[in-house]
Amino acid sequence: MSSKEIIKGYIEKADTSLGIELGSTRIKAVLIGPDHSPIASGSHGWENKLVDGIWTYDMEDIISGLQAAYADLRQDVRASYGIDLETVGSMGISAMMHGYMVFDDKGELLVPFRTWRNTITARASEILIDLFDYPIPHRWSIAHLYQAILNGEDHVADISYMTTLAGFIHFKLTGRKAVGVGEASGMFPIDTRTGQYNKTMLDQFNQLVADKNFPWRLEDILPEVLSAGDYAGSLSEEGARLLDPTGTLKAGIAFCPAEGDAGTGMTATNSVGVRTGNVSAGTSIFLMAVLEKDLKAVHPEIDLVTTPAGDLVAMVHCNNCTSDIDAWARVFGEFTKALGLEVDKAKIYDTLYFEALKADKDGGGLLSYNYLSGESITGLDEGRPLFVRTPNSNFSLANFMRMNLYSLLATLRIGYDILEKEEGTKLDKLYGHGGLFITEGVGQAMMAAAIGSPVSVMETAGEGGPWGMALLAAYMRNKAEGEELKDYLNNRVFKDAKETTLEPDPADVEGFKAFMDLYHKGLELEKRAVEILK
């Protein structure tokens, strides 16, 4: 029997799991078989919009994008195996973490979706950090809620339910208002002893806003918190028609808890155990370090979130990563087209990235800031992409590309300094995944230079979060009694996984340090650009 016939049998018997992730620039669906390898996929590209100073996605785009990604998956199954996809064994929804979606008691969205990219909650964040003695980043749902209260926004009194994008899609498909603990930890602080929202802090918040006389208490409008492996509802008839308007998909599919892209990234890189870490680099960039113990101090630059299983994680999150370098790649693509050359997009990226390996170790004295949006770690509420050089800079294509790659790692390094130097955080393994690592060896080398320690990349690094979500769905369906997520991943998914580990080149490390010296000096330029360029 051919491999295609075997996989066709898996699909017909629903010995499969499906993960769908709504990322910043792409919605992707990945279907896996019993060996956890992808057997089909679908995707749909989309972009956020800046509307009245708010980064958002239209509700119509959310639903149509979800349907388009699933339709593309169905088409892949039909083209590859000659059958219609009618059901799967289990599934789960993931999306970019954080943000603010609030609904009234009729299920109507009260204000446009406010994404993680918004840095409009500085005052709320400061007050809540002081109140809780706990880091509350600008992106968190609770910061958005309290900022809306500080702003006197009328919609707050009408809130019946507050959730994230992943939580919203999960609710639309299953009817259950629940999210995974990792996703919940980006909404409100989690007590890792109970795996639930921190009760003391819930009470503190309710007391803080008691004089407003809202008709809700915070715990009443937050989603239920579930852990990896928990059953989180099943696909309803309405959900099946929403996801697949053709009517082919059948209701009743079991769902695992919805998770954020941080949780799926940890899963996809087998980084859910203590002293493991991963860097996810795409539209945003973040480093996750699973902690052995609580941090000694509160650092506004460091999120405290959890793995999908509820273990404490320090998260260095930076709003800006590959968007600016993607824009440069488009310009180079336009140039090749103007020359009458048809060059594949992947080849353009590979060519540009490999040029960076030929560069001066410090990037030739070139400097850029890749800030399309604000960046909390460097104290900026807005961003302006900026490229600067002096007459003495060594301006070459190789240096230009290395500078751009260094730039997208710079804010991560600033945050990581806190973990490494102030908290003494140690990692046995650091994995990279996401778009930065697709060109073999380049992003990995730049990351090793930036962090100053070995970086490993698995052969599945390009699969990313949707695959991680599919793994979480498979874990819920297949786990043995008492089998923890980390053991399931170690023994069943990654036991024979191939990976490459790259040691940092000492010259690259020194070169990155030189770039960072220039980066710190030039931050005033970025701040002035925000003030002047409106």
pLDDT of residue 32: 97
108-123 pLDDT, tens digit each? 999 999 998 888 999 9
Q: How far is CA 362 from the centre of its chain?
A: 29
263 and 468 Cβ atoms separated by less than 8 Å = yes
In degrees rounded to 5, what are phi and psi of residue 495?
-55, -40
Q: Is 311 left (phi over 0), alpha (psi -120 to 50) or beta?
A: beta
Rounded to the nearest 10 degrees, how much is the dihedral formed by the CA atoms of 162, 166, 167, 173?
Answer: 130
Nearest alpha carbon to residue 14 among 38, 39, 33? 33
In degrees rounded to 5, what are phi and psi of residue 408?
-75, -10
Nearest-angstrom CA–CA distance, 272 and 529: 40
pLDDT of residue 95: 97
Q: The pTM is what?
A: 0.85
Residue 210, Cβ density class (10 Å: 0-12 exposed, 13-18 middle, ≥19 buried): exposed
The packing angle between helices 122-132 and 141-150, to 10°, is 110
Instruction: Report the CATH architecture of 323-459+504-532.
Output: 2-Layer Sandwich (3.30)
Across-strand partners of 502?
455
- Residue by residue, DSSP assigns 17-57 as EEEEEE-SSEEEEEEE-TTS-EEEEEEEE---EEETTEEE-
pLDDT of residue 29: 97
317 and 139 Cβ atoms separated by less than 8 Å = yes
pLDDT of residue 284: 87
**Farthest-apart Cα atoms in the chain, separation:** 70
User: Per-residue pLDDT for the chain (534 aa), expressed as one digit of tens each?
Assistant: 568 999 999 999 999 999 999 998 899 999 999 999 999 999 999 999 999 989 999 999 999 999 999 999 999 999 999 999 999 999 999 999 999 999 999 999 999 999 988 889 999 999 999 999 999 999 999 999 999 999 999 999 999 999 999 999 999 999 999 999 999 999 999 999 999 999 999 999 999 999 999 999 999 999 999 999 999 999 999 999 999 999 999 999 999 999 999 899 899 989 998 988 999 888 889 899 999 889 999 998 899 999 999 999 999 989 899 999 999 999 999 999 999 999 999 999 999 999 999 999 999 999 999 999 889 899 898 999 999 999 999 999 999 999 999 999 999 999 999 999 999 998 888 898 888 888 989 999 999 999 998 999 887 656 678 999 999 999 999 999 999 999 999 999 998 888 899 999 999 999 999 999 999 999 999 999 999 998
Residue labelled with tokens 């629940």: 178
Q: How far is CA 235 from the centre of its chain?
A: 24
pLDDT of residue 362: 97
pLDDT of residue 336: 96
434 and 281 Cβ atoms separated by less than 8 Å = yes
Residue labelled with tokens 């002035």: 528
Angle, alpha carbons 108-114-116 (nearest 5°):
140
380-406 pLDDT, tens digit each? 989 999 999 999 999 999 999 999 999
Q: Domain extents for the chain? A: 323-459+504-532
7 and 50 Cβ atoms separated by less than 8 Å = no
155 and 144 Cβ atoms separated by less than 8 Å = no
3-state class (DSSP) for residue 256: coil
pLDDT of residue 1: 56
Nearest-angstrom CA–CA distance, 81 and 498: 27
Nearest alpha carbon to residue 254 among 478, 483, 476, 467? 476
